[in-house]
Amino acid sequence: MTEIYDVSSFERNRKWYQEDLAQVNEPIRRLLDEYSRVPSSEVVKHVKGIRDRAFAISPYPCIGLFRFTNLTLITHPLYNKIVELLKSDSKKASYLDIGCCFGQDLRQLVFGGVPSERLVGLDIERGLLDLGYDLFLDRETLKSDFVISDILKAQGKEWQSLEERGFDVIHCSAVFHLFTLEGQITAAKNIARLVKKGGMIVGRQMGNVKPGNFPALIEGSFCYQHDVGTFGEMWERVGEATQTCWKVEGTMDLININPIDTLEDEGSRRLLFTITRTE
């Protein structure tokens, strides 16, 4: 795939690297405290240490600016319903977190009472998945599977077995917005094959009141930012190409948006979405 970032471009990457972390906020603080048992006095140092190791291998703004500490799924309007569905022994529902990074949202579900073996995380970068165990100190206890795969390629035995299994709930946050529109359509067509009929994809990403191409992480490269309308149009195209049907619902707000950040502007919005497979 086309590289998304350049690890050697320190000067550019430092634009989205925040040196210090004053505090770790709820709800991840409670997760680190009660699930991971990181001593309270050590939490900031612990998170910063993991962040620095992660930024060295994957210099994303969500890592450099500590945005991974703002848990996403828990803010989704369907969160409680998703937890109940995944906890239910009779429904045996399944969950896949695409671009899960450290698996922070997955751990929050486990902390919320979901059996960890019902949850799968997927990421292209093995190092981030490994650092997830170091961040949450659960290498010996977590029973979730983690798959290393590229959603732009969707190849290999592991991807095949994800397709055969199918998922009721897919979480995909801060992932589509990394790619061009063409890349997003490729990824969405691949992801569409993983969703059971009646299943859903939930998440958030960087949206914009003026949808279009915006500067991406590598100098001179671009990514596409949607509003709810263009995101819906993209899923119509995906539906036509995959003979599936999707209902797209979304909202745009200013939560965790900072227009003075290098990669944001006054039109930037958090796009929170639910994409339900109807056919």
Ligand X SMILES: C[S@@+](CC[C@H](N)C(=O)[O-])C[C@H]1O[C@@H](n2cnc3c(N)ncnc32)[C@H](O)[C@@H]1O
| Of the candidate residues 62, 216, 263, 272, the single one contacting ligand X (CB under 6 A) | 62
* Cα 189 from Cα 122, distance rounded (Å): 16
Q: What are phi and psi of 57, to 5 degrees?
A: -100, -30
Q: Is 72 in the site for ligand X (CB under 6 A)?
A: yes
Distances (CA, A) of 39 to 29, 30, 53, 68: 11, 11, 20, 20
DSSP 8-state symbol, 220: T
Q: How far apart are CA 206 and CA 203, in angstroms?
A: 11
Looking at residue 162, the DSSP 8-state letter turns out to be: H
Q: Any contact of residue 175 with ligand X (CB under 6 A)?
A: yes
152 binds ligand X, rule: CB under 6 A: yes
Q: Which of 55, 68, 176, 214 binds ligand X (CB under 6 A)?
A: 68
**Smallest separation (angstroms) from ligand X to the CB of 249:** 19
Residue 4 or 245 having the CB closest to ligand X: 4
Strand partners, 225: 212
Using the contact rule CB under 6 A, the part of the chain among 27-35, 109-117, 168-176, 214-222 near ligand X is 168-176
For the CA atoms of 24, 27, 32, 35, the dihedral, rounded to the nearest 10 degrees, stands at: 170
Q: Which stretch binds ligand X (CB under 6 A): 13-21, 75-83, 117-125, 265-273?
A: 117-125
Nearer to ligand X (CB atom), residue 12 or residue 245: 12
40 vs 161, which CB is nearer to ligand X?
161
Tell me the longest C-alpha to C-alpha distance in the chain. 53
Binding residue for ligand X, selected from 43, 110, 151, 223, defined by CB under 6 A: 151
Q: Which of 13, 31, 47, 58 binds ligand X (CB under 6 A)?
A: 58
d(CA 183, CA 171): 18
Q: Is the CB of 35 or the CB of 102 nearer to ligand X?
A: 102
Please identify which residue in 43, 47, 86, 123 interacts with ligand X, judged by CB under 6 A: 123
